[in-house]
Amino acid sequence: MNNIKLDLTNLLDEIIAGGKYSNLQLNYYFSTKGYNKKEKSFITNIIHTTLKNLIFIDYLIEKNASNIKKRKIKQLLRISVAQFLLNKESDYSGIVFEAVETAKIINKHQTGFVNVILRNIFQKYDQLVSEIPPTKKYSVELSYPQWIINKIASDYPENYVRILQSYKTKSYLSFRINPRKFSREDFIKLAGKHESKILFEIENVFYMSNSALLDTKEFKENCFSVQDASSYLAVKALDVQDDDIVLDACSAPGGKMSAILQEYNPDLVVASDIHEHKIGMLKEIKKKNNFTNLKIVLNDAREIGELNEKFDKILLDVPCSGLGVLRKKPEKIYTLENSDIKKLKKIQKAIFDSAYHSLKENGVIIYSTCTFTREENTNNIKYFTEKYPDLVIENVIFPDNVFISKDEFGGSFIDYRNKYLDGFYIAKFRKKGKNDI
């Protein structure tokens, strides 16, 4: 366990101090360290618990020791407190012992410090919680920066606490089947064979009890891929027809592009992304699937006109603050600033403006984000409809088992009441033809 505790310390440091994405670093460790299933589950739980409760954990630590200069010692304290939070009823002496043994490897002069701090936190836990200032209650207990609390409270005064609580809950792995290679019945049979329970399903997307299917030859053969139902439903809202020319702007990592080509038969899909290294990811997917009606281009979505093409359907899953995917990427909120949202809003508007001018008459734009701030969603929709009077918002039909909230302009939130789905916003625009104006 000591080696795993050291790995956890290094892993957390790479995420927090190194800026790595937690999901990618977990996958890297799992592919290189040779952990068994129980160890993988333990590591995942500790990392997610730490990241989802980071402000709360730091509050507990800082009440006992301020200005900790040894960064990895602080990471060790954080994961040890997270381990305690997962099972407060058990004897904590084992957690302290493991932490002290790990501290000997990191910095032997810090072992006594680690021992004292952890014992103080665990012994005085209830008292420390009771001393949280009322003005910081939600920020500390839910581990959100105060400015996010204020923003969401302003956007949703009646539901903001439930919204914030929801995106601190457990995330679930989901797969979308490739209907060209695999059926629903095939998937259910395979899941049963590998003791992976289907917890929830939406059309071709299945939420699973574990990650066992990632190790199957069927996954490697592209019979199904990792995708959340929320992004899949954005693709469904496009209503792609056989003769359509489709643009998937901001396409990487390619899940929506793949869904379009595996479930529909458009004349052409153009997949673009601004990042050159991500273009390689898209090309790999094209090769793996032998997509013949796919064109991949390096393009800034604010300059879609440079593609010299008019499109029947355009999917804009624009860069956003990502608050709707905090269950999977809980570290995002600790580096996000309010000024970032203002910058993102400008980018979102520029991308939409660019897409509008490349859309055919009677064509459709799907505007989607994986966040729930009104600034990035509803306020943008208001701007788009006022600027372009020939655009009409059309209703998007969702499956009955998906909770949806509509805003005043007809945009749809896949909202906080969904236990499994990412938080997502989808708005569907159609450009009027000359006969409609």
Instruction: Establish whether 157 is an annotated binding residue.
Output: no
Beta bridge partners, 413, equal: 405, 425
Instruction: State yes or no: 133 annotated in a binding site.
Output: no
3-state secondary structure 302-322: HHHHHHCCCEEEEEEECCCCC
Q: Is 300 annotated for ligand binding?
A: yes
Q: Which of 118, 140, 366, 370 is catalytic?
A: 370
Closest by CA to 367, choosing from 405, 413, 432, 316, is: 316
User: How many angstroms separate the CA atoms of 373 and 100, rounded?
Assistant: 43
Residue 423's φ and ψ, nearest 5 degrees, are: -70, 130
Query: How is residue 11 written in tokens?
Result: 């892993």
How many CA atoms are closer than 13 Å to the CA of 92, on its beta-carbon side?
22
Residues 6 or more apart in contact with residue 405 via CB below 8 angstroms: 412, 413, 415
Task: Please indicate if the annotation marks 273 as binding a ligand.
Answer: yes
> What is the spatial distance between Cα 260 and Cα 252, in angstroms, rounded to a whole number?
14
SS (H, E, C) 195-257: CCCEEEEECCEEEECCCHHHHCHHHHCCCEEECCHHHHHHHHHHCCCCCCEEEEECCCCCHHH
DSSP string, 146-164: HHHHHHHHHH-TTTHHHHH
Any binding-site annotation on 230? Answer: no
- Number of neighbours of residue 217 by Cβ within 10 angstroms: 7
Is 256 annotated in some ligand binding site? Answer: yes
Residue 255 in marked binding region: yes
Cis, bond preceding 253 (omega within 30 deg of 0)? yes
**Is 242 marked as a binding-site residue?**
no
Whether 370 is a known active-site residue: answer yes
d(CA 417, CA 278): 33
Q: Which residues are annotated as a binding site?
A: 250-256, 273, 300, 317
* Residues annotated as catalytic (active site), given as ranges: 370
Q: Which residues are annotated as a binding site for S-adenosyl-L-methionine?
A: 250-256, 273, 300, 317
